[in-house]
Amino acid sequence: MMLLAKAALGLGGTIVLAGAYTMREGVIRVDVDEYHAGGSHIHLWVPAAAVPMAMHFVPTKHMRHASEQAREALPVLHAIVKELKKYPDVAFVEVDDRDQHVRVRTHGGKLQIDVDAPDQKVHVLCPLSAIEDVTSQLEEHSPGA
Amino acid sequence: MSDPNRGFFARTALIATAALILSPLGVLAQSAAAPPASSNQSTTSVSKDRWLHVRVISSDAKGETVRVNVPLELAEKVLPAINKNRLHDGKVKIDDAHVNDVDLRALVEAIRTTKDGEFVTVQSNDCDVRVAKQSNHLIVHVLDKQNSKKSEVEVKVPMKVIDALFSAGKDELDLVAALHALSAQGDTELVSVKDHENTVRVWLDSKNVTD
């Protein structure tokens, strides 16, 4: 009984700690639905903390290539994310017409992009800290770093 | 270890495990409840930040509305990070500060040093144009009367912003300096365009939402 309790405590504690660590930054959510023949339907939920962690396992060669590809955008992205963190709940862009709605906003420290159109729906929710982590890691692998 | 102690430890371990496993539910519940509170806080507050707003309302069949809200500080910080084509370090290169053989820098200097007044006034059957300096603002007003559907454009730029724009070296416009100068201005409407189909407004205030 004692051994079972210890094992349960150890397992439970590990699960909770791993879960809390993985979920501490929230979830990256991507939903894409294209309403036409052959249209894509993508629904992706990934713990935000898992992405920078997973990037550590990407071979350096590929990280360098990605960094080089994104070289021009990285400083801009870094500056935008750093500034957006100061505005956790703001609608930056709203476009509405009879059929379509586009929103770019921050909500609870997450970047939220919503596109609702008759032929497609796109919803992206990504914690700003996750974008910052990714850009930082890519910057670390840039040729000049 | 005695049997009563063993039982006590086993129960304690099981309770602790159950508490640990259930604790994230509490955290999730808290995090689910938290955003609306912070959202309300941000949307109702008027911060010291200066916000540039753009609003386009189209009254055509599609009835499109565009609202853009940009904190000036964000624009000030992000612009220097963009280095593309003519834009570098928040400055735009222009060719010899001459546009169609007009020396912009000399023109700005002349306007800056001159007193308030009307520089250009055109009144015709087709359109009215007025360019003036008034209360340290450069004002351009155009009323197009060419067809039955009139359109009206009004641009009002603080002179300090124009000064800052031309404060960089020769052949450059300093956008960051202009934004910085703009952020020091009070609430003001910069651009207003009205025609039979569209209404465009660009203005500056301290609110993070449009009207």
Contacts of A15 (CB under 8 A, 6+ apart): B21
- DSSP per-residue string spanning B108-150: HHHHHHSPSEEEEEEE-SSEEEEEEEETTEEEEEEEE-SSSS-
pLDDT band at B179 (very low <50, low <70, confident <90, very high): very high
Does B118 reside within a domain?
Answer: yes
Q: How distant is the Cα of A86 from the closest Cα of chain B, in angstroms? A: 9
Do B23 and B115 lie in one domain? The reply is no
Lowest mean pLDDT among B41-45, B80-84, B139-143, B190-194: B41-45
Does B211 reside within a domain?
Answer: no
Residue A107: pLDDT over 50: yes
The label of the residue with tokens 């350096």 reads A60
Average pLDDT value over all residues in chain B: 80
Domain containing residue B38: 1-45
Do B35 and B51 lie in one domain? The reply is no
Question: Closest chain A residue to B63 measured between Cα atoms?
Answer: A97
Domain count, chain B: 2
Contact yes or no for A82/B76 (Cβ under 8 A): no
Nearest CB neighbour to A1, from listed B10, B18, B77? B10
Q: Please name the amino acid found at residue B128.
A: D
Q: What is the pLDDT of residues B121-162, one digit of tens each?
A: 999 988 999 999 999 999 999 999 887 778 999 999 999 999
Name the residue among A137, A131, A135, A140 with its Cα closest to residue A112: A131
Do B37 and B58 lie in one domain? The reply is no
Do B111 and B164 lie in one domain? The reply is yes
Do B89 and B153 lie in one domain? The reply is yes
For range B47-57, the mean pLDDT: 88
Q: How distant is the Cα of B74 from the closest Cα of chain A, in angstroms? A: 6
pLDDT band at B31 (very low <50, low <70, confident <90, very high): very low
Nearest CB neighbour to B81, from listed A4, A16, A75? A75
